[in-house]
Amino acid sequence: MSTAAGARTLSQQQLELMHKYWCAANYLTVGQIYLQENPLLKEPLRPEHIKPRLLGHWGTSPGLNLIYVHLNRLIKDYDVDMIFLAGPGHGGPAVIANVYLEGTYSEIYPEVSQDEQGLRRLFRQFSTPGGVPSHVGVPIPGSIHEGGELGYVLAHAFGAAFDNPNLIVAAVVGDGEAETGPLEGSWKSIKFLNPVRDGAVLPILHLNEYKISGPTVLGRTSDERIEQLFSGHGYRVYFVEGDDPLTVHRALAETLDHCYHEIRSYQQQARTQGFSGVPRWPLIVLRTPKGWTGPKEVDGIPVEGTFRAHQVPLEEVRTKPAHLKLLEDWLRSYHPEELFDEGGRLRPELAALAPQGERRMGANPHANGGKLLVDLRLPDFRSYALEVSKPATSYYSNTRPLGVFLRDIFKENAEQANFRYFCPDETNSNRLGDVFAVQNRTFLERILPIDDHLSPDGRVMEVLSEHLCEGWLEGYLLTGRHGLFATYEAFAMIADSMIIQYSKWLEGSRALSWRAPIASLNLLLTSTCWRNDHNGFSHQGPGLIDTLLSRRGSIARIYLPPDANCLLSVADHCLRSRDYINLIVIDKQPHLQYLSMAEAIEHCRRGLSIWPWAGNEDDNEPDVVLACAGDVMAMETVAAAWWLRRRLPQLKVRVVNVVDLMTLYPPELHPHGLDHATFVAHFTEEKPVIFAFHGYQRAVHQLVHGRPNPARFHVRGYNEQGTTTTPFDMVVLNEVSRYHLCLLAMEHTPRLRHLTAPLVRECEERLREHHRYIREHLEDMPEIRDWTWTD
Amino acid sequence: MSTAAGARTLSQQQLELMHKYWCAANYLTVGQIYLQENPLLKEPLRPEHIKPRLLGHWGTSPGLNLIYVHLNRLIKDYDVDMIFLAGPGHGGPAVIANVYLEGTYSEIYPEVSQDEQGLRRLFRQFSTPGGVPSHVGVPIPGSIHEGGELGYVLAHAFGAAFDNPNLIVAAVVGDGEAETGPLEGSWKSIKFLNPVRDGAVLPILHLNEYKISGPTVLGRTSDERIEQLFSGHGYRVYFVEGDDPLTVHRALAETLDHCYHEIRSYQQQARTQGFSGVPRWPLIVLRTPKGWTGPKEVDGIPVEGTFRAHQVPLEEVRTKPAHLKLLEDWLRSYHPEELFDEGGRLRPELAALAPQGERRMGANPHANGGKLLVDLRLPDFRSYALEVSKPATSYYSNTRPLGVFLRDIFKENAEQANFRYFCPDETNSNRLGDVFAVQNRTFLERILPIDDHLSPDGRVMEVLSEHLCEGWLEGYLLTGRHGLFATYEAFAMIADSMIIQYSKWLEGSRALSWRAPIASLNLLLTSTCWRNDHNGFSHQGPGLIDTLLSRRGSIARIYLPPDANCLLSVADHCLRSRDYINLIVIDKQPHLQYLSMAEAIEHCRRGLSIWPWAGNEDDNEPDVVLACAGDVMAMETVAAAWWLRRRLPQLKVRVVNVVDLMTLYPPELHPHGLDHATFVAHFTEEKPVIFAFHGYQRAVHQLVHGRPNPARFHVRGYNEQGTTTTPFDMVVLNEVSRYHLCLLAMEHTPRLRHLTAPLVRECEERLREHHRYIREHLEDMPEIRDWTWTD
Ligand SMILES: Cc1ncc(C[n+]2csc(CCOP(=O)(O)OP(=O)(O)O)c2C)c(N)n1
Ligand SMILES: Cc1ncc(C[n+]2csc(CCOP(=O)(O)OP(=O)(O)O)c2C)c(N)n1
Ligand SMILES: [Mg+2]
Ligand SMILES: [Mg+2]
């Protein structure tokens, strides 16, 4: 256990002022939870001053307020560039109180002015209709972390600190939150934080000992064990503990001072003498009572310092006079008349405690990252094109050219240092290894000669945690940088709840003009269900498509490029975009190439096209449309068209490939949705559509609902049939192979029934033959494995 | 750092035999990855003996084999009841090798016999079409953990150990796996494991120092820091390190002996003298080379002991003679001729090392939990019924009666000790607090007088980790017990990838007759999107419904009971079921009650019904069907019907409530799917259906695809419009309020257009009035808040 030796000593007077500032923040917190009138308590408190529905979380708030006022002091004393992340984001009213006190809130929302009227509004709006949400959400200036779904605060904090050498990110971790897997998995982030080029994270573990209705695991763990735990993670642990305000104020101030000096000295040493190992970064354990300064007891039951302080400690203030009295005593215990003047303005000696301008944590531009966003310098993606002279005649790994493109993005932006690539240990496996020509994996522990492209200076962030990859990237983007998260398709689901939360943040942020647009969250899913034949069933899951389909409006975009050139075009487009979640799904294995770069660009611009070379329609409408989305699906569809042209030329077939899945949505539901005429121009009004879909087949039905005759869409896709087998067997098991598509096409063209009987038998025989062959030879038939288009 | 003092000393001869057994397992592992012929290397190795596609993971396998043979020795020496969980489940061939060597594999799969023919089959089938998957999946006897999606091994292990006092669960944790959030969040499980009544988990951290393509964080962390870390978590750490086989054999054997005694002495003490604190359970850190005993170098590049050994260390054995030679040398280095006799049988002195009968880890019945399953004693759920004399006239918290039912389930099964309830700190919040009348929260650290129902003996498992709740429950079920996981609806998404993986396991297990059915995974989602008005947008997300809709066949069942009696009936049904994932979605707040218990039972049996009291159809078909699924949706629908009856009696309305969502699926797709006639009897052939759906609205379109005229289904549901607001405002924001439903009903009945204009205006005015009212009064209009049905 370390002590805060060498820290500055604050005067009693300064501590007392800070204490008052803390009281003001606590007062505003309680006011927001309870009051709709009488904000300065100029009158005795009456039931009608109380909101009809009491919503909010008191328990965590005094701790957040305490930390905020102390960070303000530190910022002012040392001119620190700092932002604040509240893990227990349910402490929304506390953070609002602080950004209001420091003035940023009223600058952004002038109607919530720094006077009595403004106070009334501040209180009334909290957690009420048309007002402000209860958590530290996107409307709160200075926030980049809502903290509603607990567990991601450290991941966000480290993401924000990467490549921000002067920034210190103060991150409050709830001790309940500290029980979540994602949070426990985040402590190791210091192993990826380079003191030379990155900023620092100062974690403050808020050990108020309780969560909603019970004690926390760490809350009942001895300091000794806690110290071992975090020393094991590599931190130096500082304890600040107590329930006497002035003692705690003094200890916290001294500890913060000490930690600040420690951080700066690590950085200075690394920056002057070079990197020499992961520093023992400081971590503060703040053990103070939950709901500190709130009611000690209610109806004879202890509240302060227990889980009972978590939400609204006094629930019946409107109906029980004794409770109303308790509330009034509680509010008056802060002496609002000493904190605010008659007009409701914070007294000047207190207001002077807050930092100025952009040093205020609510106004720090890092927390409004779009303000700092510098465009990515993108080399011309066309120069990475594969030569494709004739469609579907050559195989190439679809992700490989993207790897080369990424390599040069790293090169072009080396100076700007604003691009990172995140991946759970699969960059090479995903065939993006060309990046290693210029960029290393970030690694700060010992490096051995046999290691492959490791360096403390790398910007390829490989950690075996989808949560960290996603969370770091989110923090990196929110503070105004660019990035890409590439992962096995199936395991993207591990982070899907984070992606959902992030989409909610983006939706909120777009509605706020003061939030500047940030770079999009780009997700590349590879090693897809169709080609995880070697890893088997657990590695086969295209579910993230469905999760993103459920997002609101235009936030999410889903791309299924059929080949390498389309992938380059889509990736370029996504990397230039702002405020979206872009999902790109494409496999890493060698696949057929279809389009030249010029064609690919046009195809991706349109979002879908008819592939005339693959169909045989004449001037009339085709008999059947073979549609496809996804690389393997394109291959099976084109091969089906090829087979049908040969064996049943009377059947007029059109092939449509969809790159941008959202084009299928009606235009009211997504801005990419095709207008009616264009939809019909591709899919006709009423001809059967056999749709080979990369993901869960039935998702297409929700997309085409509202289109003419949706019942004629016959979709095949991944149907949860999987195992370790050959690539072609995967499409056979899921009944979306070329032969299945041919069978469907024939089934849905009754006009030609007199011709199809022998062909149906032939398809079925091919499938039986496949079944026999792979069991004997353990690989696909050469006619399948090596299939290419011939005229 | 502790040493293994006091352990039994094994003779050199025994260690040498064990070494040979290890060689045999390694040999079989390599054989599975490479060979399709010549399994005993009776001939020189030729290219055609090699499989055409080389799939599998070598790197982790020698470590798994080493551990397995040593656990065998321990089991035999002390008659231990033990199962084995491999975190790095990609080491499938290693575990298969061991269950084959011990004989269990051939008992279950007699065609894979213990002779040369069987060996050939064992090798050929691995990772090949029609063969066995590459991971430690459900076809492998003794496995309850596939290990494909890394991170859950400890959660599963502890789940298996709860209420299994004699069982020891050996759990191998990959050091890459140890980087995942869910795994890091699992170490604390010892804080929930009671030595009196629970078994033990022996974690073995397999520090082979690498993952796929880089070093692991712990792999490059000093032993000192590792010891601090795990001491902080509460373990006593034992290191076994080295690359000299015999030294490691001796150290591992002694350490295992010591750990075993330590476990038993903790248990004995607790069981004789009572619980007195969390023991410092042993944890073994096994630091041995990745791909140990494999090729040291390939083409001049080190392989053994590096990440390059992760998958298939020699890839071109079929084409490069030098590589073929390396492979042959590698295989022969194990001296197969000394391990197996001429006929391919393991030599008797080696076979004698394996335990016998059910002590073999592949045959331990705990790993085939259905064999041990004892029916849950369920009190008659009817006795918890709410009195409902007239539908939609009284409000009651929907989950509360379930809490009473659960209380008595705990009581009835106290002796059997085979039921647990898992929840992330929200039992009270979810209004299930009645369980605390008989059952406490499990808590093993210090308990204070102010604490609420904590005890080391509790079986309410509250931990703030959705991952742990889900993973513990899975482990508990897989070993033959019963349980329920209740959580906030939105945060269920945190564990959805685990639920997906579990569904894959169940699908596989159903196809294997030797796997006995187990109790279903029961998920209760409450605090739903419609009533998380106080927590706001981040807490609003019904996505798990969509995830479960994508599951194959009949594995998943989704219930949306409209009221408390239906919930009781559904819960009883789910708790009796086997091998399903049952999702129950219902809110905890006071809601309208619709059905008496008798009606509820019939309604749930049918899965959906017409509510005749709410409609006004006569003998003809109605003009419009108002369908609904979910509690709040039922209320809005019934209220819409009520309003329409009053204001537009000419409109003939039918109300249909859907409890069992899968009834909507065509019967080919789900066994609950209604046949055509029943579907039409409810929804008509072609009348418009206005469907108020609890979840993301468009999911219904995928359900009704294939039904007559699917385009006439007009669905409203949760549309990602949310914030902190009033309950009714939530349905207004998402355009599924009673007024919106009335508007839709009118819009889709052109027959009455001449009458509807003023009513449309009225609905719109009610909505504007609502908007004004809540902003002024901060709560819903009394006519909404207190609405009940009147005739
Ligand atoms: C992932 C997740 N699960 C559950 C919840 C519900 N929840 C809200 S607050 C809370 C307790 C938080 O405790 P702690 O982190 O200690 O915060 P504090 O004590 O500071 O309020 C819980 C379980 C949540 N917000 N997120
Ligand atoms: C959640 C998850 N992410 C990624 C992968 C892909 N993957 C398979 S094995 C592996 C490395 C595992 O390393 P480790 O746990 O150390 O196992 P071992 O070294 O014993 O092979 C990875 C990243 C996975 N299986 N699961
Ligand atoms: Mg807490
Ligand atoms: Mg490893």
Determine the pLDDT at residue B7: 61
Is the domain of B616 the same as that of B685?
Answer: yes
CATH number at residue A251: 3.40.50.970
- What tens digit of pLDDT does each residue of A676-708 get? 999 999 999 999 999 999 999 989 999 999 999
Q: Is residue A177 in contact with ligand 1, taking CB distance under 6 Å?
A: yes
Q: What does the pLDDT average to over A148-174?
A: 98
- What tens digit of pLDDT does each residue of A390-432 get? 999 999 999 999 999 999 999 999 999 999 999 998 888 889 9
Is the domain of B446 the same as that of B327?
Answer: no
**By CB neighbour count within 10 A (0-12 exposed, 13-18 middle, 19+ buried), where does A736 fall?**
buried
Is the domain of B626 the same as that of B744?
Answer: yes
Is the domain of B584 the same as that of B621?
Answer: no
**CA B319 → CA A727, B48, B51, B311, distances in Å?**
22, 10, 12, 19
Whether pLDDT at A347 is above 80: yes
Is the domain of B567 the same as that of B669?
Answer: no
Residue A601 lies inside a defined structural domain of this protein: no
Distance B615 CA to ligand 1 centre (A): 43
> Structural domain tally of chain B?
3
Residue A600 lies inside a defined structural domain of this protein: no
Gap from A350 CA to chain B (nearest CA, Å): 32
Q: What does the pLDDT average to over A134-138?
A: 97
Is the domain of B207 the same as that of B326?
Answer: yes
Gap from A125 CA to chain B (nearest CA, Å): 9
CA B219, CA B287: separation in Å to the nearest integer? Answer: 8
Partners of residue B465 in chain A, C-beta under 8 Å: 179-181
Nearest Cα to Cα of residue A357 among A515, A516, A141: A141
Token readout for B282 is 């042993």
- What tens digit of pLDDT does each residue of A50-106 get? 999 999 999 999 999 999 999 999 999 999 999 999 999 999 999 999 999 999 999
Determine the pLDDT at residue A553: 77
Q: Are strands A624-629 and B624-629 parallel, antiparallel or unpaired?
A: unpaired
- What tens digit of pLDDT does each residue of B663-711 get? 999 999 999 999 999 999 999 999 999 999 999 998 999 999 999 999 9
CATH number at residue A615: 3.40.50.920
- What tens digit of pLDDT does each residue of A605-658 get? 999 999 999 999 998 999 999 999 999 999 999 999 999 999 999 999 999 999
Determine the pLDDT at residue A7: 62
Residue A501 lies inside a defined structural domain of this protein: yes
Q: What does the pLDDT average to over A654-663?
A: 98
Is the domain of A579 the same as that of A613?
Answer: no
- Residue B290 CA: nearest ligand 2 atom is 19
Phi-psi region for residue B421, left (φ > 0), alpha (ψ -120 to 50) or beta? beta
Pocket of ligand 2 from Cβ distances under 6 Å: A 424-425, 464, 488, 491, 494; B 59-60, 88, 90, 148-151, 174-177, 180, 206, 208, 210-212, 216, 290, 310
Determine the pLDDT at residue B534: 85
CA B720, CA A760: separation in Å to the nearest integer? Answer: 46
User: Which of A591, A616, A636 is the endpoint of a domain?
Assistant: A591
Q: What is the mean pLDDT of chain B?
A: 96
> What's the average pLDDT block by block, 10 residues per block, for chain B (791 residues)?
56 96 98 98 98 96 98 98 98 98 98 98 96 96 98 98 98 98 98 98 98 96 98 98 97 98 98 97 98 97 96 95 98 98 98 98 98 98 97 97 98 97 91 95 94 96 98 98 97 98 97 97 96 92 96 92 98 98 97 98 98 95 97 98 97 98 94 97 97 95 94 96 95 98 97 95 98 97 97 89
Distance A211 CA to ligand 1 centre (A): 6
Is the domain of A166 the same as that of A67?
Answer: yes
Sign of the alpha-carbon torsion through B12, B17, B18, B20: positive
Determine the pLDDT at residue B1: 36
Residue B427 contacts A where some CB pair is shorter than 8 Å: yes
Residue B598 lies inside a defined structural domain of this protein: no
Partners of residue A301 in chain B, C-beta under 8 Å: 450
CA A557, CA A574: separation in Å to the nearest integer? Answer: 9
- What tens digit of pLDDT does each residue of B173-231 get? 999 999 999 999 999 999 999 999 999 999 999 999 999 999 999 999 999 999 999 99
Q: What is the SS3 assignment for A695?
A: strand
- What tens digit of pLDDT does each residue of A719-739 get? 999 999 999 999 999 999 999
User: Which of B538, B557, B591 is the endpoint of a domain?
Assistant: B591
Distance A155 CA to ligand 3 centre (A): 19
**Cβ neighbours, 10 Å, residue A67:** 24
Whether pLDDT at A1 is above 70: no
Is the domain of B193 the same as that of B272?
Answer: yes
Residue A160 lies inside a defined structural domain of this protein: yes
Nearest Cα to Cα of residue A746 among A730, A759, A764: A759
Determine the pLDDT at residue B554: 86
- The closest ligand to the CA of A150 turns out to be 1
Partners of residue B673 in chain A, C-beta under 8 Å: none
Is the domain of A315 the same as that of A277?
Answer: yes
Residue A116 lies inside a defined structural domain of this protein: yes
CA B169, CA B171: separation in Å to the nearest integer? Answer: 6
- What tens digit of pLDDT does each residue of B319-349 get? 999 999 999 999 999 999 999 999 999 999 9
Residue for token pair 């919503």: A55
Among B residues 104-133, those touching chain A with beta carbons less than 8 Å apart: 124, 127-133
Whether pLDDT at A3 is above 80: no
Whether pLDDT at A443 is above 90: yes
User: Which of B591, B625, B658 is the endpoint of a domain?
Assistant: B591
Q: How far out from the chain centre does Cα B126 lie?
A: 26
Residue B254 lies inside a defined structural domain of this protein: yes
Alpha helices by DSSP H, B102-214: 104-108, 116-125, 153-161, 181-184
**CA A372 → CA A364, A379, A416, A504, A579, distances in Å?**
11, 22, 12, 22, 14
Residues spanned by the domain of B201: 12-353
Is the domain of B405 the same as that of B327?
Answer: no
Return the percentage of chain A with pLDDT > 90, whole number: 96
Is the domain of A520 the same as that of A491?
Answer: yes
DSSP of A418-463: -EEEEESS-TTTTT-GGGGGT-PEE--S---TT-SSEETT--EEE-
- Residue B179 CA: nearest ligand 2 atom is 15
Partner residue facing B501 (CB), from A148, A233, A538? A538
User: How far separated are the first and last CA of chain B, in Å rounded?
Assistant: 77
Provide CB contacts within 8 A for B34, sequence distance 6+.
B50, B51, B54, B123, B317, B327, B331
Provide CB contacts within 8 A for B20, sequence distance 6+.
B338, B339, B350
Provide CB contacts within 8 A for A258, sequence distance 6+.
A4, A5, A6, A7, A238, A282
Among B residues 186-215, those touching chain A with beta carbons less than 8 Å apart: 186-188, 191, 211-215
Closest residue, chain A, to B698 (C-alpha) = A702
